[in-house]
Structure 1
Amino acid sequence: MTTAVPAPAPADVAAGRPVRTPERRPVQRFSVGRTLRYAILLFSLVIVLIPVYVLVVTSFKGPGDASAARAWALPQLWTTENWVTAWQTLSPAIWRSVQMVVPASIISAFLGSMNGFVLSRWSFRGANIVFTLILFGMFIPYQAVMIPLLQLLLGLDIPSGIPSLILVHVIYGIPITTLIFRNYYESVPKELIEAARVDGAGMLRTYFSVVLPISVPSFVVVLIWQFTSAWNDFLFAVFFSSSQNGPVTLALNNLANGALLQNYGVSMSGALLASLPTLLVYIILGKYFIGGLMSGSVKG
């Protein structure tokens, strides 16, 4: 079936004006591959949302209604008591997690940015060896160094709880932040650094005046990564804190164990409350995450 093309207006022909021929848009036809692709995506979305459905539904059930036999059923009586109880129990730990995650993410991001700049654009003899040694920290299992690290922090008289967790997350965040920033700074044109040197700027002046203002995409990626890693960490929390001074993951574990035989709804409400900050971070900054990751993949 062909689409009729309208004839040019006589006035345009008489005046000698160019006549535009409307473009033909391709007709969208049924594609088995496209349909199969969307079907697979829809199926994957349903699989991912099934646990979320159980969490949300169970969080509004009462003690007698929340059971494994009625996990898929809607609440017989909707109630918000589980949320109130979970918030009263977890709110101090949530505030402690904020106190831990925010400085740990910012400090590790700035240290990684400085390391990445020095190793990529202010290179020195043995820079590749130093970079390899820094990356080596990414491949050491946390469990293998947990006891020596605990003894080291005790020997340094660093208080347990939030101070110890901040220091640990900063140290273990340096390898991945250095890798991300080094890859990003490799894509920065050398002419910018050379122009700063010609103008008499030293290493620190070049970093703060030239490099730091254009590092926003990588900072977004690193902050999201570090925030999520530190917020969801449980192993460090067990070793370096207690239920009185630990983060929300430790308090959530205690809440789940205490409510296991009483009310599943409190545990589900607590899990949703504990995951809400990371969810908000991804909703607000998620659109910059992929762009920041790809910004250093191609050298300009």
Structure 2
Amino acid sequence: MARIGIYAFLVISALFFLLPIYIMIVTSIKPMVEIRGGNALAWPVDWSFAPWVKAWTQACTGIDCNGISSGFWNSVKITIPAVILSVLVGSVTGYTMSFWNFRSMNLVFGVLVVAIFIPYQVLVFPLIRLSAAFNIYGTLHGIVLIHVIFGLPITTLMFRNYYASLPRELIKAALIDGAGYFRIFVQIILPLSPPIIVVAIIWQTTTVWNDYLFGMVFAGRDNLPMTVQLNNIINTQMGVREYNMEMAATILAALVPLAIYLLSGKWFVRGITSGAVKG
């Protein structure tokens, strides 16, 4: 009887989260005539992918009406280097804090942990002044650097906690054999790191891809990510609102993180259980 109750709860929970997604998908392939009928749950009678094509190629994201395809490629250009750099640097700093003691290490680690909980909005204005002073405000490498900086605390914490679960005898044996700092990292630590690397990549990819605040403030007009363009579609549309096109644009913006979780979910869980939250 208890098992039946658990299954019933899981089914209800799944339906609760899947229902909005179903409504978005159904609405995105309905003609406006059927949408105005008011039955959001009904499957479309005369369905079409024309709203998807329009969202990708013709939707107005302000004064430009070229769809959100440009925003997609901007998000790709921002996400890939930001994820690679934050994961790479985070793995090195996590490795350092796990196996190599230095003065004020606890203080540095404490600052990184505190930085995770600082609201991003508090730092926006100082970062604007700082990036403008270095002439990187509104540039692609400027927004990438912002994401790397804000991604470092969480990636460092992930790698540090994962490496803390590894036996220290590996490092001691390597030191006895004459291996140095980078050789130990490359030949011993990295081969043991795929689970936590996958976790960090999934986390950072979804974080950077779904970002709106930094993209709006720091990316510049030529590098606006998909999330900013999606907001512009919804807020700048005039005349009759095309709900089917808006829903299609929303789904297109969410496809990448959704696909990552669907395809890499088991790796994410495996990385978490392998030590990503151990201290």
> Same fold per TM (> 0.5)?
yes
Q: State how far apart, in whole Å, the 1-side matches of 2:35 and 2:236 are.
A: 15
Q: 1:248 maps to which residue?
A: 226
Q: CA deviation at 1:243?
A: 5.0
Query: Letter of the aligned partner of 1:144 in structure 2?
Result: V
Q: Which runs of 5+ in 1 are unaligned?
A: 1-31
Q: SS of 1:64's equivalent?
A: helix
On the 8 A contact 1:66/1:263 being kept in 2, the answer is no
Selected match of 2:56 from 87, 104, 117? 87
On the 8 A contact 1:58/1:264 being kept in 2, the answer is yes
Q: 2:105 maps to which residue?
A: 127
Q: State how far apart, in whole Å, the 2-side matches of 1:63 and 1:93 are.
A: 25
Q: State how far apart, in whole Å, the 2-side matches of 1:297 and 1:262 are.
A: 45
Pick closer, same or farther for the CA change 1:177–1:68 going to 2, 3 Å: farther
Mapping for residues 43-82 of structure 1, pairs under 5 Å: 43-67=12-36, 69-82=38-51
Q: CA deviation at 1:251?
A: 0.8
Q: SS of 1:200's equivalent?
A: coil
Mapping for residues 153-164 of structure 1, pairs under 5 Å: 153-164=131-142
Q: Which runs of 5+ in 2 are unaligned?
A: 58-66
Q: State how far apart, in whole Å, the 2-side matches of 1:220 and 1:68 are.
A: 45
Q: CA deviation at 1:71?
A: 2.1
The 10-residue stretch of structure 1 (263-272 or 159-168) with the greater mean CA deviation from structure 2: 159-168
Q: CA deviation at 1:130?
A: 1.1
Q: In terms of Rg, which structure is larger?
A: 1
Q: State how far apart, in whole Å, the 2-side matches of 1:70 and 1:166 are.
A: 43
Q: Which consecutive aligned stretches of 4+ in structure 1 deviate over 3 angstroms post-superposition?
A: 258-261
Q: State how far apart, in whole Å, the 2-side matches of 1:192 and 1:109 are.
A: 23
On the 8 A contact 2:98/2:164 being kept in 1, the answer is yes
Query: Letter of the aligned partner of 1:266 in structure 2?
Result: M
Q: State how far apart, in whole Å, the 1-side matches of 2:203 and 2:276 are.
A: 17
Q: CA deviation at 1:297?
A: 6.0
Query: Letter of the aligned partner of 1:33 in structure 2?
Result: A
Identity of aligned residues (%): 42
Selected match of 2:118 from 137, 140, 148? 140
**1:188-237 deviation line (CA, Å, top 9, x unaligned):** 11111011111111111111111111111110000000000000011111
Q: 1:172 maps to which residue?
A: 150
Query: Letter of the aligned partner of 1:224 in structure 2?
Result: I
Selected match of 2:194 from 216, 224, 228? 216
Q: State how far apart, in whole Å, the 2-side matches of 1:282 and 1:139 are.
A: 24
Query: Letter of the aligned partner of 2:40 in structure 1?
Result: A
Aligned-residue CA RMSD (Å): 1.7
Equivalent residues, number: 268
Mapping for residues 34-45 of structure 1, pairs under 5 Å: 34-45=3-14
Q: State how far apart, in whole Å, the 2-side matches of 1:247 and 1:36 are.
A: 44
**1:261-289 deviation line (CA, Å, top 9, x unaligned):** 42100110011111111111112211110
Pick closer, same or farther for the CA change 1:243–1:251 going to 2, 3 Å: farther
Pick closer, same or farther for the CA change 1:146–1:113 going to 2, 3 Å: same
Selected match of 2:259 from 280, 283, 298? 280
Query: Letter of the aligned partner of 2:160 in structure 1?
Result: R
The 10-residue stretch of structure 1 (39-48 or 117-126) with the greater mean CA deviation from structure 2: 117-126
State TM-score, norm by structure 1. Answer: 0.85
**1:148-195 deviation line (CA, Å, top 9, x unaligned):** 111111111004143222111100000000101000111111111011
Query: Letter of the aligned partner of 2:274 in structure 1?
Result: S
Q: 1:97 maps to which residue?
A: 75
Pick closer, same or farther for the CA change 1:62–1:297 going to 2, 3 Å: closer
On the 8 A contact 2:32/2:243 being kept in 1, the answer is yes
Answer 1 or 2: higher relative contact order, Cα 8 Å, separation at least 6: 2
